[in-house]
Structure 1
Amino acid sequence: MLFFALVSSVNILNSIADLNASGFGQPKPRHGLELLSWFAKNCVDNNMKSTCNPQEKDYGFHEFDNKKPKSSKEPLLPNIKKQNNHNYYTLGNLNAKSHPKAENLPSEIRGDYDKFREETPNKKIPDNFNEDRIIINYNKKTNDVKNIYVSAHYDENQTYGIAPQLINQLRGEKKNNEKNKNKKKPENNTSQNRADKKNRKGKKKL
């Protein structure tokens, strides 16, 4: 896969260390780190094909127009040819009024946003509760995810490309968790062993 072949000015994050150092999704109540981790484990497979359906607006996916930021003469991301079935889709807006299926995102992503909304229903939700986004270059015909980006509400200075190896690292967290869950704790059979020994002693030879 020719990943990020079109990218020129967007910085690429190659590892979890790069991600943490970038400041994306930090600090709480920003939800970007949880969003990206969940996306890596639930919305792309090992072949970088989408297991979510952006066209059906799964989890609040919707088309991203790739407009020029106010401070730039160029679009936020490289232009792509929509006629070749490629399009940008964005994920992460937690406002269920505008994106109803965003309510299906898990509590580790929505938690702070929902809590603020419930506790202060008459107050406007601050931007940092809902500014983080994922943007994907998605092929509607082949279901391939060509490129992945993260952005603090499309700010060119806070937009990064996510390299495949970082996605693999985030997916690896899921594999490690599953391995740990599947490990059986050694059973404490001390009492049973004692009973078995006692029974064997009590048996007479025939």
Structure 2
Amino acid sequence: MERRGLLCGFLFYFILTSAAAIQTLKDIKDLKNTTTSMKEFPRHGLMLLHWFANNVEVDSSGEIQLNFDPGQGSYGLHCYKDTDRRAPFDSSESLYYSLGDLDRRSARMLPFYVTHDFHHSMESPQKNLDRVIIQVQRSNPAKIEKVYITEYHKNHSQGSSYNPECTYEISAQLLIQIQALGTNIICDAYDPRLTFSLCEFLNHQQKAAKVLMIYPKIPGLEWFLTLAGYNIDSRFDVFSQASFCTMNQTGNPNDNCSPPSIGISDVMHNKVKLEVKSTSGGYAKITWSGIPENIARMKLKIGLYKGRTNVDPLREYPLNGRTYGSIDTSVPLNPGLQVQLLQSEKIPYYFFFRTTYYTTIWKGPELDEANRIPPASIRGYKGSLQLYTKDGYACARLYIKKSFTNWKNVFSNAWVGFYASKADDNGKYKVYAWSKDFEKSSKDDCPLDYEIYQYESGVHIGPGVQARFMLTAHYGSEKARTVPWEE
């Protein structure tokens, strides 16, 4: 961690002392004119920037406010601290957070359109390079001073570093334009489409429609990728030519890789959904929908995997021609579970008989432990409450600001209740736990600004389950409640 912080310190020392060398992207045209390779598959920088822009508020003066506290580590955000003081982290009023490392567990909170190509690019060295860096006020981490987009590389001889040649400052104006693309074109004066001629508009609209064939319909995403210069034609070509090498019995790739009878392009569109949900008993439920009928009729299976790196499924079931459906499994609900669509492949074995194997042709998102919901603020106090799952049980996590040093005294009679439904009165909890009985987390990736305390209940996680924070024994003292599970 110290080495990583030092290397990132070099980057920000460069940014702070050589600001003139960093180009500021004032609008979408500036972004389109950059030569950065983040506009090619499987890079996720543009998708990441789109998501980020729609999770901030920009006022008329250009001040940027984040919609959540970055110090809690949600969405994979993590803070860099230069322990060697080569960059003015500790001496200034600013902190720096990095967003976009899709290998981090909390990055599972990001929507699937951001992580989609990461899951479908196999072992490409280009699939996890893009980062959004935010400079925030130390006293008010939700207030953003500057935004950068950059490129991250692992250097085996020096550890890790960022590429200053691929680092750009993102203006408030550009963020506003990205937001405007998600609204009705006649309702927002900042919408860049208002300056188009009819011919230009129709040309861009045609490209935007092509984006919608791949990515889910997220407000403004298709227009942003089109106007920012994302190479959508290359993206189609990659998937049209994609094939998975079959494996021989020793587990090594065959020298001659042949494409499966179903290409990824045959199932690649925004209607296909593969998801892990929860049964009422805390077990994983496989759900799928949007599979084309001609594909569903072929010999396919649905598999449940422990994670994207696992080769063997925990459970697998024949699709039997069903274009949509769900299956309740006996696998306890845990973070990282993933649904994959599998196709049978016959492989010669010693030239005497043929053995059937299954290869992955489509993947769903990995399950996030908190169901992609950030912590809920405890009203009036420097703390938050989050519901998450472990081994199929409902668990609660308290985020306590480190500056809230007397929290144990203030919360001496506070407790967290677990409820089966948001309709239940505060007195109808399944179980409860005193906040003083929560155990301090020893995670290495504990957020810088907070201490984390956790409690694992005996209540099965399932649709509708909710956690609530009460300040005193009185049922009317509620200060926080989480979003019900899977609502």
**Matched-pair contact (CA < 8 Å) for 2:56–2:64:** no
Deviations 1:69-117 (A, max 9, x none): xxxxxx8xxx44434441110100101xxx211001111110011224x
Give, in whole Å, the separation in 2 of the partners of 1:83 and 1:176. Answer: 45
| Conserved? CA contact 2:134–2:146, under 8 Å | yes
The CA deviation at 1:48 is 0.6
Is the Cα contact below 8 Å between 2:43 and 2:130 reproduced in 1? yes
Amino acid aligned to 2:174: L
TM-score normalized by the length of structure 2: 0.30
Q: Is it true that 1:107 corresponds to 2:112 in the alignment? A: yes
User: Do structure 1's residue 27 and structure 2's residue 63 form an aligned pair?
Assistant: no
Structure with more relative contact order (C-alpha pairs < 8 Å, separation 6 or more)? 1
The equivalent of 1:38 in structure 2 is 51
List per-residue Cα deviations over 1:171-194 (Å, max 9, x = no partner).
1112337x6x9xxxxxxxxxxxxx
Q: 1:55: Cα distance to partner?
A: 0.6
Give the Cα–Cα distance (whole angstroms) in 1 for the partners of residues 182 and 137 of structure 2: 26
Q: Does 1:60 align with 2:58?
A: no
Secondary structure of the corresponding residue to residue 166 of structure 1: helix
Among candidates 156, 162, 166, match of residue 170 of structure 2? 162
Q: Is the 8 A contact 2:58 2:172 kept in 1?
A: no
State the secondary structure of the residue aligned to 1:38: helix
Aligned residues of 1:45 and 1:51 also touching (Cα < 8 A) = no
CA drift of 1:65 comes to: 4.9
* Runs of 4+ more than 6 Å apart: none
RMSD (Å), alpha carbons: 2.8
Asked if structure 2 preserves the Cα contact closer than 8 Å seen for 1:80 and 1:87, the reply is: no
CA contact (8 A) 1:63 1:87 kept: yes
Give the match for residue 146 of structure 1: 145
CA distance in 2, matches of 1:66, 1:108: 33
- The separation in 2 between residues aligned to 1:146 and 1:137, in whole angstroms, is 5
Gaps of 5+ in 2: 1-14, 153-161, 188-218, 220-487
Structure 2 counterpart of 1:148, which letter? V
SS in structure 1 opposite 2:54?
helix
Within a 5 Å distance, the mapping from 1:171-190 to structure 2 comes to: 171-176=179-184
Name the aligned partner's letter for residue 132 of structure 2.
Answer: I
Percent identity over paired residues: 27
When you count strand as a share of all residues, which structure comes out higher? Answer: 2
CA displacement at 1:66 relative to structure 2: 7.3
Please list the CA deviations of residues 127-146 of structure 1 after superposition, one character each: whole Å capped at 9, or x if unmatched: 21110000010113222100
What is the TM-score when the length of structure 1 is the normalising length? 0.67
- Aligned-residue offset at 1:27: 0.7
| Cα distance, 1:37 vs structure 2 | 1.1
Q: Give the letter aligned to residue 171 of structure 1.
A: Q
Verify the 8 A CA contact 1:10 1:159 in the aligned structure 2. yes
CA contact 2:81–2:89 (8 Å) conserved in 1: no
Decide whether the 8 Å contact of 1:44 with 1:52 is kept in 2. no
Provide the secondary structure at the position in 1 that maps to 2:53: helix
What amino acid maps onto 1:167 in structure 2?
L
SS at 2:43 equivalent: coil
TM superposition shift of 1:10: 0.8
Matches within 5 A, 1:190-205: none
- The structure with the greater share of residues assigned to helix is 1
